Structure formats: structure tokens, C-alpha cells
Amino acid sequence: RLDEIVDIASEALCTRRAVFTLGKDTYPYSLVKDRLLRLDASHVGYIIDCINKNTTDVRNIKTYLLKTLINAPATMESYYTTKVNHDLHGSTK
């Protein structure tokens, strides 16, 4: 999976496109590049964790992975915060 992530990120960074259309969303290359260059090991772990928990039928895995990569820097912290809040809810007396 790590090789797939690296391949997809590398391909996106090396493209000459001005925009990326991923599903119904369009992203400017500058945003895609910024987000992909901000990825670190914690983001990759988050992405793999989310993929492992996904039960949805993904029809275009390449688009799904690229969109996940692009969104990871913007969503990871909130994802883990809500997980902790959920897990700790009601545990204090």
C-alpha cells in the first residue's frame, strides 16, 4: 500500500495539469502540490487506517487514494480528536 501511495503522490506532483478533477471536486495544482508535500508518516498511517476501515465499494481507487492524500493534512487532526472524544465520552465520573 505504501508503494501505491508514493506512486500516486509522485504522479500527481510530476503532472503539468493546472487542475485536478477528483470525483465532483476540482482542485488547483497549487493546492494539490502543497498538501502532498506536507504529508508525513503520521498522515500515511492515518490514510492506511482509514482505508482499512472502509467498507464502501470504491470504483476508482486511484481517484479515491489521491483525494484521500490531498485531504489528509486538512482532516487528520480533527479525525483523531473526534475519535478520542468519542472513546472518552462518559468515562469520567
* Contacts of residue 9, Cβ cutoff 8 Å, sequence gap at least 6: 36, 39, 66, 69
Least confident stretch, 1-15, 43-57, 79-93: 79-93
Tell me 56's DSSP state: S
Please say if the pLDDT value at position 92 is more than 60: no
**What is the rounded CA–CA span in Å between residue 53 and residue 59?**
16
Mean pLDDT of the region 64-75: 92
Q: What is the mean pLDDT of residues 37-61?
A: 92
Summarize pLDDT for 7-28 with one digit per residue, the tens.
999 999 999 899 999 889 999 9
pTM, whole model, 2 decimals?
0.79
Q: Cβ distance 44 to 2 under 8 Å?
A: yes
